[in-house]
Chain A
């Protein structure tokens, strides 16, 4: 037997002796404890985010109720079944704080065409949402700065303008998504 074969035989004997070696059970116990801790922390983070999103939704609703100034379109409540997070008509990702439609006098309504409603995509407000079963779409008025919060470009001079938005509230009462609405003649 040459030296390399002999070394291989020696290493095989060592490998054979070690084959059944495993980490002792307390290592698994410690790891599982750590795993559970991390999972709890992760859930807490998600709940906190959901809470913030719900608070934002409620704030938006509150603002809509407390400042009832522009009323070209009365607030609507629509039943939403499985909404898709896409633009309803033409996608329009860049809306530079569209002005709220001006109130028109009753006498002119009949003579003019109805303004066309243009909406953005829905922007999710929850990081991880429970499965959607049913919900309601609430038409609210929010400051244009809300658009910036979801990443839409807004002219800095118009952050204080008020814009229409639809807030999708799920069956559990959480505000799940928001989209912004503007009107074209």
Chain B
């Protein structure tokens, strides 16, 4: 979960925890710095989980609003703030996915029917096929792939964000990769 640039007075040396405390205390610069530092990860997580820019924007906004309301509940001993934010975003994404289950189905069908025509696609198109394949995974496997393989989160960070044991993350990731291998048979990454 890489950090983004923080182009205001709050330097990178200030921890997320300190920024959060200041932000909750009414320091707008601290809130801006924290948002700029962590919004990228939240946005990409939501986008890679849903495949929808509009939902990713909404989820990012709502995640930081929830942080403003309930940020006092954050406990540093239970994980990083980045994982805490992803945990919030994950709940919001799951609610959206429940509401928009039809979108998920459409993506699944599109992916399943397109295996044999991919050989001469460009690299970019192939990558989009990978994205579609990821989106077609069941949510619990998808979130493991998104966090560990697309967001470079450690198993521990992913476990903290997903509120499950590290072993569960490992096994879901392994199964997810096996499913992706089947779905992506024939896709050429030039």
Chain A residues proximal to chain B, CB less than 8 Å: 3-4, 6-15, 17-19, 21-24, 27-28, 30-32, 34-36, 38-39, 42
Contact = CB atoms under 8 A, between A and B. Distances in A.
B61 A14 contact: no
Interface residues of B, number: 42
A17 B131 CA distance: 10
A39 to B, nearest CB: 5
B180 A9 contact: no
B127 A13 contact: yes
A17 B42 CA distance: 16
A124 B127 CA distance: 63
A14 B43 contact: no
A128 to B, nearest CB: 11
8 contacts: A10-B189, A13-B130, A14-B130, A18-B150, A19-B2, A21-B43, A27-B57, A31-B65
A14 B134 contact: yes
Given A7-B181, A10-B187, A28 B150 contact: no
A7 B182 CA distance: 10
B149 A11 contact: yes
Given A8-B177, A11-B149, A22 B40 contact: yes
Interface of B: 2, 4, 23, 26, 28, 31-32, 35-36, 39-40, 42-44, 47-48, 56-57, 60-61, 64-65, 68, 123-124, 126-127, 130-131, 134, 145, 149-152, 177-178, 180-181, 184, 187, 189
B89 to A, nearest CB: 11
Contact of A18 (B47, B123, B124, B189): B47
A6 to B, nearest CB: 7
Given A15-B149, A27-B61, 14 more contacts: A8-B177, A10-B180, A10-B187, A10-B189, A12-B149, A13-B130, A14-B127, A15-B150, A21-B40, A23-B57, A23-B60, A28-B35, A32-B32, A34-B65
Given A7-B184, A23-B39, A28-B39, A15 B28 contact: no
Contacts of B177: 4, 7-8
A27 B46 CA distance: 14
> Which 7 A/B pairs are nearest by Cβ-Cβ distance?
A3-B181, A23-B43, A11-B149, A23-B60, A15-B150, A10-B130, A22-B40
Contact of A7 (B36, B42, B180): B180
